[in-house]
Amino acid sequence: NTGTYPGRKVRMTEITAPKSPVTAEQFADEIREQLKYTQNVTTEQATPADVYVAASKAVRNHLADSWFKTQADTVNGNTKAVGYLSAEFLMGKQLRNALLNAGLTEQFDKAVEALGFKVQDVVDAEYEPGLGNGGLGRLAACFIDSLASLGVPAFGYGIQYKYGIFKQEFDKDGKQVETPDYWLANEEPWGHIDYNRDQKVSFGGKVVENADGTKTWQPAWSVRAVPVDYLVPGYKSGRVNTLRLWSAKSYDEFDLLAFNRSEYMEAVTPQVKAENISKILYPEDSTKVGKELRLEQQYFFVSASLHDAIRVFYPGQDKPDLTTFPNKIVFQLNDTHPVIGIPELMRILIDEYGYDWDTAWSITTKTFNYTCHTLLPEALEVWPASLIGELLPRHLEIIEKINAQFEDELKSKGVDKNTIKDMAIYTGDAVRMAYLATYGGSHVNGVAELHSQLLKDVTLKNFSDVYPDKFTNVTNGVTPRRFVKLANPRLSDLITEGLGTDKWLSDLEMLKGLEPLAKDDEFVKKFAAVKKANKVDFAAYAKREYGFELDPNTMFNTMVKRLHEYKRQSLKILSVISTYADIKSGKVKAEDVTPRTVFFGAKAAPGYYLAKMTIQLINNVSRVVNNDPDVKGKLAVYFPWNYNVRLAQHLIPATDLDEQISQAGKEASGTGNMKFALNGAMTVGTLDGANVEIRERVGAENFFLFGMTVDEVEKKYAEGYNPASYYEADPRLKHAIDMVADGTFSNGDRNAYSPLVADWLTKDWFMTLADFSAYMDIQSEIEALYADELEWNRKALLNVANSGYFSSDRSMEDYLERIWHTAPLAD
Ligand code: H2P
């Protein structure tokens, strides 16, 4: 059923932010005051960075009353709150978003000018916090934005890493170099450290049995979890929620005895050990190193958050009735990272509050739900039991008991012995966190229809057979405030003009109203002009930030996402090489070439060898292609380093063609695909993740589909996949791979990429080679359409008109209805 959609299920609390809470003059005064009394500089002495801090604090002050009121209503109201437990929140810059939601954008712009500064300089002074790896962390940020905008009481709970995702640079050979991202080097005006709401989190030690049979955990060491609060202002909802990120501090700052013995390093060991916990965000794929620290991080933020929720909802109560806990707050486990929360809540209830096992279990299962974000088995965390035993001995006991209860339950349901063994949460050696989450919570969801189906059919099949009602789907979404309104003001204005209202920003399905305008050539031309102007803007940005010389008259073709083999950046770069060869050899006539600028943006996990080599290859293809006069004006390749939310906000609105080319059955959802469609890019993609739903909604004729389906992929694995046969069969592919192997992109060094080439020809687990021909073939279709500017833009506009479903507001409504069973606060 595509084409007709139910209207909003949850009505947004239409509290419009006061039209003009202050005038520009008043806001300028507020900035002056902040400069004077908190920054302690005069307006004359102030730098743009000072003004940025002062303005940010002034905006924060404007949101304070709504924040307090929301907190009070959250605790006192009878609406259940949502706790979103996530190891990552990739927030992006805060100032513009806060201004938008506080209704202060214009006042800010005018005030800054009046103070004698350039708006751009002030906004640029904000340093983006990189507290996430990619889509998973950015999704969490979109979700909390939507919850606040819907007026749903919610807490984001996570970690305030001192170092976010590494800063990416490229060396002279095009290799990725990682440097620490010390984002807190300068004053950070958004997070408020609340030392008085701290929590103690303990580790190690042993469990002793008391005379009455109860257990006492005697931990070996503890750290202090200090919350840093970020405001999460809703758009026109009058609500401001809280993102509470925990920072680890030591209880023993300093060992004075050791210091007095001149053992200066030893003296600070406990401090270093404690503070290491929130030191750095783990790159998702590095599974080998630092397992212990990663588990410490997970337990640290989850334990602090659960205790915090009890503090918030039962203020000042020594013996709260925690059987009501699931009526106060429902916790969403964002992937397996916070799943240790299940045994932790059991421990809190039993050991700290004296509940019996069955009561504790009933509370716990009602409290948690689990979202899975992957189909790659290696991304479902499995912890060595020995590690859990060492770090969290009481939790290991509880997990064992949960597992025993689970086995009994399966037996009583008639599940056979072997299946029970396959389903073990605790294998004796290891703990499978995804299984623990599935059994220990009420619902499990995937993040797109296809993904949720594959979870049921493959990844968690046994569980879905036994507990079919637990499984559901919630397709991901993105916030239109950041990714359309802030990122693409020109398009936003045009949409508002087309619809005659700006209400679409809180009811994105209204974009459907643009559909008839796709028949109006004048409107389509305006739409095309918006894209063109965005490309010109991006060219200026790329010149300023990266020194690139871009030609906005070429097609802008973009692939941005974490670097991973399954996402298949290799497929894109091989096709670029093939096109390069064809243009250079004259196989394609100059007049038949569609001039293109190809952009890559991607970070590779520091320990991921082939991903890093792919980056090196892309950079060197870029170097060779961009310096070759034979293809000048026809093909260019750019890899702006350090892809982040800020760059996304500039690049997405300027893109004509977006690449979503993962192997079918591997990308859980994708959210970049949604951002591009909403910003009027066409997509070339496989039938994978949310691509399937995007294509369904925008129409097959407005989407460039290619490649194998999930079933075809499975069949090929079963038959035995031989990548070399594809290399032999398609001369374009053979030529492209040969060029990588013969030193064309490594100054003649034939060994530079041999591991990559060997992998392609002998393994190619994600079947890049098998999809290459289909990918090349669809390019001619793409180019034919691009030649017809009006038609291209008509289709791109239809993408915008039919992508309203992909708002994270809609995702939140689905979670509310299918999983959380709660609603916005009453006014
Ligand atoms: C992951 C998945 C994406 C999904 C996203 C949010 C882990 O993000 O792979 O398919 O859209 O979570 O659910 P990413 O690959 O971008 O790190």
Specify the pLDDT at position 398. 98
Residue minimizing CA distance to atom 14 of ligand 1: 135
Average pLDDT over residues 550-567: 98
3-state secondary structure of 553: coil
Kindly list the distances between the CA atom of residue 291 and the CA atoms of 250, 279, 282, 604, in Å, as whole numbers in the listed order.
Answer: 21, 14, 10, 19
Please state the atom number of ligand 1 nearest to the C-alpha of residue 689: 10
pLDDT band at 6 (very low <50, low <70, confident <90, very high): very low
Ligand 1 center to 372 CA (angstroms): 10
Lowest mean per-residue pLDDT among 5-14, 33-42, 488-497:
5-14
User: 799 CA to middle of ligand 1, Å?
Assistant: 22
State the DSSP code for 219: -
- 140-165 per-position pLDDT tens digit: 999 999 999 999 999 999 999 999 99
Residue 222, pLDDT score: 94
Ligand 1 atom with least separation from CA of 447? 13
**Angle, helices 135-150/808-815, rounded to nearest 10 degrees:** 80
Average pLDDT of the residues in 724-731: 98
Q: What are phi and psi of 368, to 5 degrees?
A: -110, 150
Sketch out the chain's domains with CATH numbers: 77-93+128-476+812-820 (3.40.50.2000), 551-801 (3.40.50.2000)
768 catalytic residue (yes or no) = no
394, 482, 512, 562: which is the annotated catalytic residue? 562
Respond yes or no: is residue 337 known to be catalytic.
Answer: no
**Residues 65-70: contacts with CB under 8 Å, at least 24 apart:** 66/233, 66/238, 66/239, 66/240, 67/231, 67/240, 67/242, 70/153, 70/239, 70/240, 70/241, 70/825
The verdict on whether 307 is a catalytic residue reads no
Q: Characterize 630-664 residue by residue with b for buried, 16 or more Cβ atoms within 10 angstroms of its Cβ, and e for exposed.
A: ebeebbbbbbbbbbbbbbbbbbbbbbbbbbbbbbb
The confidence band for 5, taking pLDDT boundaries of 50, 70 and 90, is: very low
Neighbours of 45 (CB within 10 A): 10
CA distance from start to end of the chain: 35
Cα(120) to centroid of ligand 1, in Å? 32
CB-based burial label for 317 (10 Å; 0-12, 13-18, 19+): exposed
In this structure, the strands spanning 215-218 and 206-209 are antiparallel
CA pair distance 347, 329, nearest whole angstrom: 18
Where residue 10 falls among pLDDT bands split at 50, 70, 90? low
Tell which atom from ligand 1 comes closest to the C-alpha of 138: 6
Closest atom of ligand 1 relative to the 564 alpha carbon: 15
Q: Is the pLDDT score of 648 beyond 70?
A: yes
Q: Give residue 581 CA to ligand 1 midpoint distance, Å.
A: 34
- Look at residue 3 and tell me whether its pLDDT is greater than 60: no
**Chain-wide mean pLDDT for the chain?**
95
DSSP state of 44: T
Instruction: Report the residue among 671, 673, 806 best suited for mutation to probe ligand 1: largest number of ligand atoms under 8 A from its CB.
Output: 671
- Mean predicted confidence (pLDDT) in 454-475: 98
Options 93, 470, 481, 567, the catalytic residue: 567
The Cα 62–Cα 102 span in angstroms is: 7
From the CA of 211, how far away is ligand 1's center (Å)? 49
Looking at 254-290, list the stretches that DSSP marks H as alpha helix, in order from N- to C-terminal side: 256-260, 264-267, 269-276
Ligand 1 pocket: which of 644, 666, 669 to mutate (most atoms within 8 A of CB)? 669
Nearest-CA residue for atom 12 of ligand 1: 136
Q: How confident is the model at residue 624 (pLDDT cuts 50, 70, 90)?
A: very high
- pLDDT at residue 55, as a whole number: 98
User: Which ligand 1 atom is nearest residue 451's CA?
Assistant: 10
Q: What is the DSSP string of 526-578?
A: HHHHHHHHHHHHHHHHHHHHH-----TTSEEEEEES---GGGTHHHHHHHHHH
Quote the pLDDT of residue 7: 45
Q: Give the residues surrounding ligand 1 with Cβ less than 6 Å away.
A: 133-136, 139, 373-374, 447, 476, 561-562, 667-671, 689
Distance 289 CA to ligand 1 centre (A): 22
Distance 689 CA to ligand 1 centre (A): 10
Atom in ligand 1 nearest the alpha carbon of residue 139: 6
Looking at the CA of residue 668, tell me the nearest atom of ligand 1.
10
State in Å: Cα 569 to ligand 1 middle: 16
Q: Which of 138, 373, 794, 795 is catalytic?
A: 373
Probe target for ligand 1 pocket from 86, 89, 136, 455, with the most ligand atoms within 8 Å of CB: 136
Q: Which of the residues 561, 650, 695, 794 is marked catalytic?
A: 561
Active-site residue, from 671, 744, 768, 822: 671
Atom 8 of ligand 1, nearest CA residue: 135
CA nearest ligand 1 atom 16, residue: 135
Q: Is the per-residue pLDDT at 18 higher than 60?
A: no
The residues with which 163 forms a beta bridge, in sequence order, are 182, 280
pLDDT band at 9 (very low <50, low <70, confident <90, very high): low
Ligand 1 centre and the CA of 630: distance in Å? 39
**Is residue 561 among the annotated active site residues?**
yes
The three-class DSSP label of residue 621 is helix
What pTM was estimated for this model as a whole? 0.96
Ligand 1: centre distance to CA 592 (Å): 37
Q: Is 671 a catalytic residue?
A: yes
> Does the pLDDT value for residue 4 go beyond 90?
no
Q: Give residue 659's pLDDT.
A: 98
Looking at 80, 328, 481, 675, which residue is catalytic? 675
Nearest residue (by CA) to ligand 1, atom 6, is 136
| Ligand 1 center–CA 680 separation, angstroms | 22
Protein residue closest via CA to atom 3 of ligand 1: 670
pLDDT tens, position by position, 276-328:
999 999 876 555 457 889 999 999 999 999 999 999 999 999 999 999 999 99
Strands 682-685 and 657-660: parallel
pLDDT-derived band at 16, boundaries 50, 70, 90: very low
* Mutational test site, ligand 1, from 90, 285, 373, 483, max ligand atoms within 8 Å of CB: 373
Atom of ligand 1 nearest to the CA of 567: 15
Query: For the segment 679-695, what is each residue's pLDDT rounded down to a tens digit?
Result: 999 999 999 999 999 99
Q: What is the pLDDT of residues 563-577, one digit of tens each?
A: 999 999 999 999 999
Which whole number is the average pLDDT over 742-748? 98
Instruction: Kindly indicate the confidence band of residue 78, based on its pLDDT and cuts at 50, 70 and 90.
Output: confident
Whether residue 20 is predicted with pLDDT greater than 60 in this model: the reply is no
Distance from Cα 657 to the centre of ligand 1, integer Å: 20
Provide the pLDDT confidence category of residue 484 given band limits of 50, 70 and 90. very high
Q: Is the pLDDT of residue 258 over 80?
A: no
**Residue 505 CB contacts under 8 Å (≥ 6 apart), including other chains:** 235, 236, 480, 481, 484, 485, 492
Q: Give the closest residue to 730 by CA, choosing from 782, 662, 776, 661.
A: 776
**Does 122 have pLDDT greater than 70?**
yes
**Which numbered atom of ligand 1 lies nearest the CA of 476?**
13
Q: Look at the chain and count its residues.
A: 827
Mean pLDDT of 175-199: 96
Q: Does the annotation count 365 as an active-site position? A: no
